[in-house]
């Protein structure tokens, strides 16, 4: 092993930087799952009867579903009875009216993560709906959004305040029968975000939510629903990180997006869940179902994700292009290091005429990280003149990591045009030497090279998020090549 | 003391000894040329001086401005003022030439305790230097060497040389792959950078370059040893006779 290799190895083995547990009073149910727990959650959230019924139907269906085994990831079977399905921070009053009122410990947690809410509000003009454990604790800029007729609130609040919208759209893109984890989520989801952009409105700010897993043994089941009516535009940012813990934490979120005629939704994620220690112990299991429906003509849904965390990631943000001329995009950077495993990619389902989709996937593997890209492009019989461009690039940073590509193509209409490009490269010791020879230290060289590799994806992120993503990559990959 | 002093340098790669005792001294202000057949170890010498970790130094010493060069990390050698124009410059996709050079220049300045350049100062400098080596400004915005033609890559090396202003510039076959006009520009670039305090080590196969960049000394490298040194006329001699003569002498 050369000297450079060794340095790179050391760089990748860095400990997780956001690891600490906030000591906050929890209101937690004992571990286990049955209909009573679901009733408890529903009652706790003062939900209407139809919501409880839906949850119970989802639960009964889930009981019949087999655990999916097809993903290229390996982990011991999850004991769903060992998980606690509800935990909420205690609040003295009903809801905090401003960020000053949120629990100071919570604020401190965010501050230590480098995402102070107040600064974000002032500097970036971002409306924040922070999800701490399972209940929303801070919602801001509500008044301003309200003027535009935009609804941006927690899912619990939406169920109470906007039951018609929730009832109409919840499960319309990801039904509870869809897959095992989406089924579980439908039964026990505790909170999440709800966004409704009315006809013709361009959301005046980026909407963002920070997720954070905190309570030991508490599964996280977030549910997000974004509806963009005709001609509306919205950009939504999701970012998360979690403290160091011992047991594996299950995170099974569902995100549903609906774009009507001429509407555009951009959904950006920076995901930094705790990946586990060097042996992969204690990391987050991230089994997420994200799907967008381009329901209307000329609509557009764009997913961008930067995935650096989790012990296991199982995630395929997808687009169903039902409207004619609708556009789906998927831009992804995924990093696996240590013992991380990721099976991620996208599905583009072309149904309407002249539908277009773009897939750009950048995978970076270091240490013993294992990564699979799994992508499906389906052109259904009625999708005349559909086009897809897919590009999957993998960068290997050690001799012990792996990258795998599973592209599935299902073309049922002869007018379709598909393009696929794939590359695998090893981060070159020659590239690092070249940088060194110009005075650039190895750590900086690695981040320079990796950020260059990810550029096509980063440039689709909103500005301040791109900077954060770049910083995250630096922290993550300090110690990742070999 | 000399700017660069190499004494009995031995180096190997993957167990194969390539450099078998090199002695070479370059004074400030001097330009030396190294010639030699393919595989004789010219690039090896250049990369060992730059600190390429794939080579193992098995003997000898190298002093650069009184510092033990072999003890320094590659980036510190660069910061001390050693520049290598690579025979095969690598591509760094997604990283713009401008961004790359700013990181490089500021790392060097920081090491030397000089103020880092701000964006405006840097932009001004980069434009001026690009002009001086006739580098197309469009290349500044493009990713480092990515998709550059062979000649553009070489010109980019000279441009970086002009930007970083090292004390010792080692140019490994910077002339190969250049058209005649480019060769002249590169040579002019090098000549304009020649100064009292700076030394050059030019590796080339062609006498033609040396008629533009007139060397103070020429060395013939063969099988990992310098078998002959002389003045600029040695290059002309080689052009006529080839290396066979020395090969016998070395054997
Ligand atoms: N990884 C390696 N393993 C074994 N031998 C190597 C390795 N890398 C280089 N060599 C050998 O080292 C010798 C010197 O190579 P070097 O690149 O220094 O030659 P050069 O004089 O620059 O030649 P050219 O004029 O073709 O550029 C060659 O015989 C080459 O095959
Ligand atoms: Mg060579």
- For residues B109-132, one letter each, b for 16 or more C-beta atoms within 10 angstroms of the residue's C-beta and e for the rest, the string is beeeeeeebeeeebeebbeebbeb
Whether A453 and B93 lie within 8 Å, measured CB to CB:
yes
Query: Sign of torsion, CA B178 B180 B181 B186?
Result: positive
Whether B107 and A441 lie within 8 Å, measured CB to CB:
yes
pLDDT at A24: 46
Task: Give the span between the Cα atoms of B215 and B204, in whole angstroms.
Answer: 12
What's the whole-number mean pLDDT along residues A123-134?
A: 39
Query: Structure tokens of B82?
Result: 């050693």
Binned at pLDDT 50, 70 and 90, residue A19 comes out as very low
A30 has pLDDT over 70:
yes
What are the tens digits of pLDDT across the range A190-200?
888 899 999 99
Partners of A224 in the β-ladder: A255
* Interface predicted TM-score (ipTM) over 0.90: yes
Contact between A245 and A20 under an 8 Å Cβ cutoff? The reply is no
Hey, how many other C-beta atoms are within 10 angstroms of the C-beta on B179?
9
In this complex, the residue of A430, A448, A456 whose CB is nearest that of residue B90 is A430
In this complex, the residue of B74, B93, B101 whose CB is nearest that of residue A452 is B93
Q: Is the CB of B43 under 6 A from ligand 1?
A: yes
Contact between A196 and A227 under an 8 Å Cβ cutoff? The reply is yes
Q: Distance from A408 to chain B by nearest Cα, in Å?
A: 28
Distance from residue B5's CA to the centre of ligand 1 (Å): 23
Distance from residue B245's CA to the centre of ligand 1 (Å): 22
B178 has pLDDT over 90:
no
In this complex, the residue of A434, A444, A451 whose CB is nearest that of residue B90 is A434
Contact between A178 and A171 under an 8 Å Cβ cutoff? The reply is no
Whether B79 and A441 lie within 8 Å, measured CB to CB:
no
Nearest-atom number in ligand 1 for the CA of B14 is 3
What's the Cα-to-Cα distance from B43 to each of A128, A135, B174, rounded to whole Å?
Answer: 57, 63, 12
Instruction: Give the neighbor-by-neighbor strand order of the sheet with B4-13.
Output: B16-26, B4-13, B56-64, B67-68
What are the tens digits of pLDDT across the range A349-380?
999 999 999 999 999 888 888 888 999 999 99
Q: What is the pTM (predicted TM-score) of this model?
A: 0.78
Contact status of A453 with chain B (Cβ, < 8 Å): yes
Instruction: Tell which residue, A250, A252, A182, A184, has the closest CA to residue A217.
Output: A250
Q: What is the mean pLDDT of chain A?
A: 79
What's the Cα-to-Cα distance from A367 to each of A147, A399, A403, A445, rounded to whole Å?
Answer: 50, 8, 12, 18
Hey, how many other C-beta atoms are within 10 angstroms of the C-beta on B206?
15
Q: Is the CB of B42 under 6 A from ligand 1?
A: yes
Instruction: Let me know if residue A348 belongs to a domain.
Output: no
Instruction: Let me know if residue A218 belongs to a domain.
Output: yes
What are the tens digits of pLDDT across the range A372-389?
899 999 999 999 999 999
Domain that holds residue A226: 1-315
Task: Give the span between the Cα atoms of B122 and B120, in whole angstroms.
Answer: 5
A63 has pLDDT over 70:
yes
Strands B168-172 and B199-203: parallel
Whether A429 and B92 lie within 8 Å, measured CB to CB:
no
- Ligand 1, atom 10, lies closest to the CA of B13
Taking any CB pair shorter than 8 Å as contact, residues of chain B touching chain A are: 47, 50-54, 73-75, 77-79, 83-84, 86, 89-90, 92-95, 99-101, 103-105, 107-108, 111, 143, 160, 164
Task: Give the span between the Cα atoms of B14 and B16, in whole angstroms.
Answer: 6
Q: Distance from A311 to chain B by nearest Cα, in Å?
A: 28
User: Ligand 1 pocket check: which of B15, B41, B242 to mutate, most ligand atoms within 8 Å of Cβ?
Assistant: B41
What's the Cα-to-Cα distance from A23 to each of A106, A133, A276, A390, B95, rounded to whole Å?
Answer: 9, 12, 20, 45, 43
Task: Give the span between the Cα atoms of A251 and B106, in whole angstroms.
Answer: 43
In this structure, which ligand is nearest to the CA of B18?
1
Whether A456 and B94 lie within 8 Å, measured CB to CB:
yes
**DSSP conformation letters of A139-150:** E-SHHHHHHTT-
**Ligand 2 (single-atom ion) residues, CB below 5 Å:** B 42-43, 87
Whether A452 and B160 lie within 8 Å, measured CB to CB:
no
Cα-to-chain-centroid distance, residue B249 = 28
Considering its fold, how many domains does chain A have in total?
1
Using alpha carbons only, give the angle A334, A339, A344 rounded to the nearest 5 degrees. Answer: 30
Nearest-atom number in ligand 1 for the CA of B47 is 18
Instruction: Let me know if residue A346 belongs to a domain.
Output: no
A156 has pLDDT over 80:
yes
- Return the SS3 of A343: strand
A101 has pLDDT over 70:
no
Cα-to-chain-centroid distance, residue A46 = 27
Whether A429 and B83 lie within 8 Å, measured CB to CB:
no
- For A193, the enclosing helix (H) or strand (E) is strand A193-197
CB interface of A with B, residues 419-448, below 8 Å: 428-431, 433-442, 444, 448
In this complex, the residue of B53, B83, B143 whose CB is nearest that of residue A2 is B53
Instruction: Let me know if residue A467 belongs to a domain.
Output: no
| C-alpha dihedral (A138, A202, A241, A176), degrees to nearest 10 | 90
Give me the percent of chain B exceeding a pLDDT of 90: 68
- How many beta-carbon pairs under 8 angstroms link A with B? 83
What are the tens digits of pLDDT across the range A316-346?
999 999 999 999 999 999 888 878 888 889 9
A132 has pLDDT over 50:
no
Instruction: Tell which residue, A196, A235, A241, A222, has the closest CA to residue A290.
Output: A222
* Complete domains list, chain B, with CATH: 4-250 (3.40.50.300)
In this structure, which ligand is nearest to the CA of B44?
1
Partners of B172 in the β-ladder: B203
- For residues A297-316, one letter each, b for 16 or more C-beta atoms within 10 angstroms of the residue's C-beta and e for the rest, the string is bbbbbbbbbbbbbbbbbbbb
Contact between A371 and A406 under an 8 Å Cβ cutoff? The reply is no
Instruction: Tell which residue, A66, A73, A59, A29, has the closest CA to residue A316.
Output: A73
Query: Structure tokens of B60?
Result: 């000898």
A237 has pLDDT over 60:
yes
């Amino acid at each position: 092993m050369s000297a450079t290799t060794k340095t790179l190895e050391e760089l990748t083995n860095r400990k997780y930087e956001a690891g600490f547990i906030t000591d906050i009073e929890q209101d937690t149910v004992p571990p286990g799952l049955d209909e009573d727990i679901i009733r408890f959650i529903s009652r706790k959230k003062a939900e209407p009867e139809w919501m409880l019924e839906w949850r119970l139907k989802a639960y009964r269906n889930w009981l019949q579903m087999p655990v999916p085994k097809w993903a290229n990831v390996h982990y011991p079977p999850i004991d769903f009875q060992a998980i606690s399905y509800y935990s909420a921070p205690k609040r003295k009053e009903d809801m905090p009216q401003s960020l000053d009122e949120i629990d100071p410990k919570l604020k401190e947690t965010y501050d230590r993560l480098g995402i102070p809410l107040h600064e974000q509000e002032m500097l970036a003009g971002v409306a924040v709906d922070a999800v701490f454990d399972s209940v929303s604790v801070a919602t801001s800029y509500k008044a301003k959004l309200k003027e535009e007729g935009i609804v941006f609130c927690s899912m619990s609040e939406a169920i109470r305040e906007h039951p018609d919208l929730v009832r109409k759209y919840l499960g319309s893109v990801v039904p509870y029968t869809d897959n095992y984890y989406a089924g579980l989520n439908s039964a026990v989801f505790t909170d999440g975000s709800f966004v409704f952009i009315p006809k013709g409105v361009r959301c005046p700010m980026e909407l963002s939510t920070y997720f954070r897993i905190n309570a030991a043994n508490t599964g996280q089941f977030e549910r997000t629903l974004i509806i963009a009516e005709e001609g509306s535009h919205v950009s939504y940012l999701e970012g998360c990180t979690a403290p160091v813990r011992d047991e594996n934490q299950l995170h099974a979120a569902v995100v549903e997006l609906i774009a009507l005629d001429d509407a555009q939704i951009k959904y950006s994620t920076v995901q930094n869940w705790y990946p586990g220690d060097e042996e992969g112990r204690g990391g987050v299991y991230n089994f997420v179902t994200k799907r967008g429906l381009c329901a209307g003509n000329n609509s557009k849904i764009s997913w961008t994700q930067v995935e650096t965390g989790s012990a296991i990631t199982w995630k395929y943000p997808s687009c169903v292009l039902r409207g004619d001329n609708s556009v789906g995009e998927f831009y992804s950077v995924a990093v696996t290091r240590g013992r991380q495993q990721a099976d991620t990619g996208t599905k583009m389902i072309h149904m309407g005429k002249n539908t277009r989709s773009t897939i750009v996937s950048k995978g970076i593997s270091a240490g013993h990280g294992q990564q699979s890209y799994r992508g499906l492009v389906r052109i259904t019989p009625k999708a005349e003149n559909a086009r897809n461009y897919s590009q999957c690039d993998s960068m290997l940073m050690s001799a012990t990591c792996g990258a795998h590509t599973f592209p599935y193509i299902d073309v049922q209409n002869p007018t379709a045009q598909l393009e696929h490009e794939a590359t695998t490269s090893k981060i070159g010791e020659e590239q690092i030497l070249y940088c060194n020879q110009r005075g650039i230290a190895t750590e900086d060289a690695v981040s320079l090279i990796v950020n260059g590799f990810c550029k096509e994806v980063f440039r689709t992120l909103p500005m301040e998020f791109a900077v954060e993503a770049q910083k995250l990559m630096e922290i993550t990959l300090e110690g990742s090549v070999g | 003391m000399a700017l660069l002093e190499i004494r009995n340098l031995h180096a190997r790669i993957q167990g194969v000894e390539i450099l078998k005792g090199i002695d070479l001294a370059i004074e400030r202000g001097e330009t030396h040329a190294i010639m030699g057949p393919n595989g004789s170890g010219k690039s090896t010498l250049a990369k060992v001086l730059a600190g390429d970790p794939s080579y193992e130094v098995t003997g000898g010493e190298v002093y650069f401005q009184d510092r033990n060069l072999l003890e320094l990390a590659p980036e510190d050698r660069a910061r001390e003022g050693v520049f290598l124009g690579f025979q095969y410059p690598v591509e760094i996709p997604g990283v713009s030439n401008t961004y790359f050079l700013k990181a490089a220049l500021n790392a060097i300045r920081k090491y030397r305790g000089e103020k880092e350049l701000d964006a405006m100062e840097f932009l001004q400098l980069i434009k001026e230097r690009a002009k001086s080596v006739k580098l197309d400004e469009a290349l500044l915005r493009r990713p480092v060497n990515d998709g550059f033609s062979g000649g553009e890559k070489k010109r980019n090396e000279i441009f970086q040389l002009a930007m970083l202003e090292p004390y010792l510039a080692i140019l490994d076959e910077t002339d190969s792959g250049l058209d005649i006009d480019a060769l002249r520009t590169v040579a002019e670039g090098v000549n304009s950078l020649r100064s009292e305090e700076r030394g050059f080590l030019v590796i080339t196969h062609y006498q033609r370059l040396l008629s533009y960049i007139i060397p103070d000394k020429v060395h013939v490298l063969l099988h990992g040893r310098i078998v002959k040194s002389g003045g600029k006329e040695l290059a002309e001699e080689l052009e006529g006779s080839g290396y066979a003569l020395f090969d016998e002498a070395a054997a």
